[in-house]
Amino acid sequence: MGVMVEGVYQVDDPAPQTDAAGRYERAASTIRNWITPKGSYRPEPGRYHLYAAWNCPWAHRALLARAALGLQDAITVTYALPRRTPQGWVFDASGDFADTELGALSLHEVYARHSPAYTGRITVPVLWDRETRSIVSNESADILRMLGQAFDPAQRLCPPDKLEDIERWNALIYPTVNNGVYRAGFARTQEAYDEAVTTLFATLDKIDAHLATSPALVGDHVTEADLRLFPTLARFDVAYHYAFKCNIRKLSDYPHLWDYARALYALPGVATTVRPEIYKQGYFSPSELRNPLGIVPAGPIVDWNAPAQRSLSLAP
């Protein structure tokens, strides 16, 4: 993937993504505006458009918020082709991967429409505002939070009285699990990998123990914390376990975590956001470091439709 400097897309990415000890470091998001009732970006159905990619777990957060809150009609989506190209994320001219909003052929064109002098990485998800013709945000955590705040008067994904617990789980799960799988997969030294994989499984063990007695991460109902964990779980056995060497255990080896993951999958709308075959194609696409021949493995077969013992829903 390349990077944009002063509005010019550079195919060769000069930015180092690992530190001196070989640890992977994710670049900070660059555009972080917020939808608010009285600001420039107001919560109006039909006003916003999401740029996503099926294989991206960060974009998956935004797709989950949209599905869980029933915002499919209020917020439209364009999906980038789920593979890496020298031009970064790209779109087809027509079909399932066409940009129905701006007719762009690459995501860097969308960033350039937002700001002709844009400098930074070209990442999904992007929340685009049709009215001001600008990007509201390219930070998935903010998009998930703001969709819940702006489009759900009941604030079910992040109830104020649960905020502290939600933030506590988020603060543990982001570095060790969501980004932890990348820290394992993109590590450039044995030590960096060992550190990432150990902390990843320590957190998964802890969550599994918690879910033995708690239906969801925070109490009985689904919150933002669950929607942030789910994208990593959805990709775990088909992608991270093998492609990123996160193989101490599989998700399906964890009795409670696996039951909980299937209960989240069974929430209305969630299954439509999960594409295991696309995850495989994406994570096993040719990579000089990780998969030079680009051969995509056949398995494992993961049965997401096996009924869960618990049933989960958003708060009433």
Ligand X SMILES: N[C@@H](CCC(=O)N[C@@H](CS)C(=O)NCC(=O)O)C(=O)O
Report, in Å, the least distance between residue 106 CB and ligand X.
12
Name the nearest CA neighbour of 141 among 166, 164, 160, 165: 166
What would the two tokens of residue 277 be? 């075959």
Number of residues that bind ligand X (CB under 6 A): 14
Nearer to ligand X, 170 or 211 (CB): 170
Q: Of the listed pieces 120-128, 224-232, 252-260, 262-270, which binds ligand X according to CB under 6 A?
A: 120-128
- Which of helix, strand or coil describes residue 4? strand
Of 88 and 215, CB closest to ligand X: 88
Of 12-51, binders to ligand X (CB under 6 A) are 26, 29
Q: How far is the CB of 149 from ligand X (least distance, A)?
A: 17
Closest among 71, 79, 80, 81 to 47, alpha carbons compared? 71
Q: Which is nearer to ligand X, 69 or 126 (CB)?
A: 126
- Torsion sign, CA atoms 77, 78, 79, 84: negative
Question: 4 forms bridges with which residues in the sheet?
Answer: 9, 120
What phi and psi values does residue 106 have, to the nearest 5 degrees?
Answer: -145, 155
Q: Is residue 123 within the footprint of ligand X (CB under 6 A)?
A: yes
DSSP labels, 182-196? HHHHT-SSHHHHHHH
Q: Give yes or no: 56 in active site.
A: yes
Give yes or no: 182 in active site: yes
Residue among 78 and 140 whose Cβ is closer to ligand X: 140
Q: How far is Cα 236 from Cα 148, in angstroms, rounded to an integer?
A: 26
Q: By CB under 6 A, name the one of 66, 121, 156, 275 that touches ligand X.
A: 121
SS3 301: coil
Choosing from 31, 56, 64, 239, the residue that interacts with ligand X (CB under 6 A) is: 56
Cβ atoms 45, 18 nearer than 8 A: no
Catalytic: which of 9, 48, 111, 182?
Answer: 182
Q: Which tokens belong to 130?
A: 């049709």
> Of 25 and 195, which CB lies nearer to ligand X in the complex structure?
25
Does the protein bind ligand X through residue 179 (CB under 6 A)?
Answer: no
Nearer to ligand X, 122 or 274 (CB): 122
Considering only CA atoms, which of 214, 287, 286, 200 is closest in space to residue 250? 200
What's the token pair of residue 142?
């903010």
Using rule CB under 6 A, residue 58 touches ligand X? yes
Binding of ligand X by 1 (CB under 6 A): yes
We find the least distance from the C-beta atom of residue 60 to ligand X, in angstroms, to be 9
Alpha-carbon distances, residue 246 vs 155, 208, 229, 232, 250 (angstroms): 35, 16, 16, 11, 8
Is residue 78 a contact point for ligand X (CB under 6 A)? no
| The only residue of 140, 176, 203, 223 in contact with ligand X, by rule CB under 6 A | 140
Q: What is the residue whose two structure tokens read 């860097």?
A: 108
Using CB under 6 A, which of 109, 129, 139, 226 touches ligand X?
Answer: 139
Q: Can residue 122 be called a binding residue for ligand X (CB under 6 A)?
A: yes
Which residues are catalytic, by number?
56, 182
Residues binding ligand X (CB under 6 A): 1, 26, 29, 56, 58, 88, 121-125, 138-140
